[in-house]
Structure 1
């Protein structure tokens, strides 16, 4: 399954140093896992975590879940070794923290053979260079690091995330312009289901492919938010049928539920049905 076709509704961070967490992740209904060698691992555990993760991925059992390894930054004492190790772990992608410029991805690409690259978008400079980063020929995905971005901006927490909207929008536009996946940042209050659902709905409506998560308790809410509903699927099927009938009759538009349906609406409807089928296929694996 290509990156473009993969569901990315729920993308869960798992500490690479925790064998129990690595084991549990094999059973969770997540679309993707970020195996974290960076923030979730203490400095004195980082080298051991690299070996622990390599053993877990060699054992396998993660099914159709996308396997992404987040390394330490290349300007740290662990980053280069992380990158070289990730290239041989059988992961689906390697995730670079604090991507500021395309040159950062060039440096990672030189260490990782042909492994697809993902970029953490979490710095003010990264926001300003989002289009150039998204255009990198090895990049297949972007992850919003909203906590670090808010810290660097000096922004205060707001439920509507207004201070972060400029950065979120720049990265979304860049990702969509260059056809790479993009997932929203984490929601820190993992016991606040209502708040998580609201932020997932906001991210979905903006155009994100899914949400990064910090706790298994958040998975069901993210999966539901970023999945087409039965109503979405029904409407999409009716729009396609009505438009096809209109074209056959020599008309350029159709009407469904009192609303005009043009070719752009049909393109969205086909994407909805394709996403639904991709989710079903993944769940069946």
Structure 2
């Protein structure tokens, strides 16, 4: 199975035409072209038009394009969804997903849209945390489009009173639940944003925190955050070299069929070979997509 890097996922306000153009030059793996939180009510329609025109026009190179729509229960949501389907981005990001029925409602409204258009879900409500497993499980349904969870830690903090400082101790349980749900059903999962875009050390620490949880990448609010996320969510040269050593060891004829081997004094199991293959695949996918266009 191919792997698509999602180390850096940058929000871009759909109402800012200059930002949409600048995004074509940024070294982000993915762009969320936002019609929701980043756009004032009186700019919603112009944002929708600009974003959809930008997606149709292309020119974003390797960057995965995602349109975040307003909720279907808002005055803009259904028009956003219809316009996004017509623009055909890589994915549509739905806000405030709280139950499996939310996913089924969205896919129902997408109708006969091309199967290439995936659905991403913002996990940002208390009910969404309680239902993370059932939401993720919709990825296994016949009409499934769901492919990625995006953590909405700011909204979770707002809804619960949990704080985002002190190593996000108040979020640890919810981050763990969503990672488990995503992994159980084959979804990617992207960490929430780090709000202080001038605090490089804080950003690095939170990227490492998300990486260690098993996140695939981090959502970002400023281009200056891209380099740190790209570095931290990529395997290091040493990790790739070790992974290749593990793979090569299991490919030796004398190790065929073995569940575990002694590799330079350490016990390595076949599951480590599977993990190693994923590490190498991710490294090769990153290398293959190149830098900013």
Q: Which TM-score band (shorter chain)?
A: over 0.9
**2:133 corresponds to:** 131
RMSD of aligned alpha carbons: 1.6
Q: In structure 1, what is the equivalent of residue 79 of structure 2?
A: 81
Which SS does the other structure have where 1:88 is aligned? helix
User: CA contact under 8 A between 2:250 and 2:256: conserved in structure 1?
Assistant: no
Q: Assess if the C-alpha contact under 8 Å between 2:164 and 2:171 holds in 1.
A: no
Q: Secondary structure at the match of 1:95?
A: strand
Q: Give the match for residue 222 of structure 1.
A: 229
Shift of 1:90: 2.1
SS at match of 2:59: coil
Of 140-149 and 244-253, more deviation after overlay is shown by 244-253
How far is the alpha carbon of 1:250 from its aligned partner? 7.2
Q: TM-score by structure 2 length? A: 0.92
Tell whether the 8 Å contact from 1:130 to 1:174 is kept in structure 2 after alignment.
yes
Partner of 1:198: 205
Superposed, which structure 2 residues align to 1:1-285 within 5 Å? 5-113=3-111, 114=113, 115-136=117-138, 137-245=144-252, 247-248=254-255, 252-283=259-290
Q: String of CA shifts for 1:94-131, please: whole Å, max 9, x gaps.
A: 11100011111122112223332110000010001101
**Do the aligned residues in 1 keep the contact of 2:255 with 2:261 (CA within 8 Å)?**
no
* DSSP 3-state at the match of 1:100: coil
Any idea what SS the aligned residue of 1:160 has? helix
Residues paired across the two proteins, number: 283
- Report the CA distance between 1:251 and its aligned residue: 5.0
Deviation per CA, 1:3-27, whole angstroms, max 9, x where unpaired?
x611000000000110100001001
- Structure 2: 5+ residue stretches without partners: 139-143
TM-score normalized by the length of structure 1:
0.95
SS at match of 1:208: coil
Structure 1 position 281, deviation (Å): 1.5
Q: Report the Cα distance in structure 2 between the residues aligned to 1:118 and 1:213, rounded to whole angstroms.
A: 16
CA distance in 1, matches of 2:240, 2:164: 35
Provide runs of 4+ in structure 1 moved above 6 Å: none
